[in-house]
Amino acid sequence: MNPTSPRRRRNLWRLAGVSAGALALAETVRLLALWRQTRTYPRYWAARAAEPLAPNALRVVAFGDSAAMGIGARRPEESLVARIAAYLSERTGRPVHLTNLSTGGGRVATVLEHLHLADADAVIVVAGSADAIARVPLGQFRADVRELVERVPADRTILSDVPLRPGSKPYQKALAEVADEAKVAHADFARAFRTARRFDVFAADFTHVNSRGYQIWFTAFRPHLDALIARLSR
């Protein structure tokens, strides 16, 4: 039979249509799972914050946006903030009481509204991406970051750099300059992902990272966490 016959072409088009439909369905399911995370993950973090404070526990408080919530990870335990808490517990041998006060779409100004530190041993902030997306005026962003670093304990705080995305470079530059001036550590997002050289790190929306992406992001925090552990052990 002629390979370009009408019958063969119809079969190929049918196969292409079925394949496209299956891919679209799979993508829809993955997007729906992400949407569900925006409802279920806040409940997970609220439950963790409500846990009793164990004797000799490290008190870790996190602030930020949906990335700090762990949207995109298969489970909240595979998020960036949960990995940080697990690492601190493993390295110190102490339990960790984790309070995650992040909010979807949270900007640095949002963090300032929720900045209740009590007696935190470690403060984690993952914010700036929403500012870049919303094109918050750079002067305002810089002022917000400056107020943030003035209100947190410099030797117990780690900021995340602004994730790589179109338009984020000037926001990252402002965050780094203000944090360096205040001697507040900031985790090098760009270097971590450049070193990893992986492309399978995105969730279904291609905005958030997946569990593998959060593992890579965590590596940017690890040197600063080690320095924090050394200070806590003195």
Between CA 223 and CA 227 the distance in angstroms is 6
The stretch 220-234 carries a mean pLDDT of 95
The stretch 96-100 carries a mean pLDDT of 97
What is each CA distance from 10 to 7, 102, 229, in whole angstroms?
Answer: 5, 52, 65
Q: What is the DSSP letter of 163?
A: P
Tell the CATH superfamily of the 40-232 domain. SGNH hydrolase (3.40.50.1110)
Cα of first residue to Cα of last residue in the chain, in angstroms, is 81
111 closest CA partner among 144, 140, 135: 144
22, two tokens: 């299956």
Q: What is the DSSP letter of 161?
A: P
> Tens digits of per-residue pLDDT, 122-181?
999 999 999 999 999 999 999 999 999 999 999 999 999 999 989 999 999 999 999 999
Reported as a pLDDT band with limits 50, 70 and 90, residue 26 is very low
The predicted pLDDT at position 18 comes to 44
At residue 95, does pLDDT exceed 90? yes
Residues of the chain above pLDDT 70, percent: 86
- Gyration radius (Cα) of the chain, Å: 21
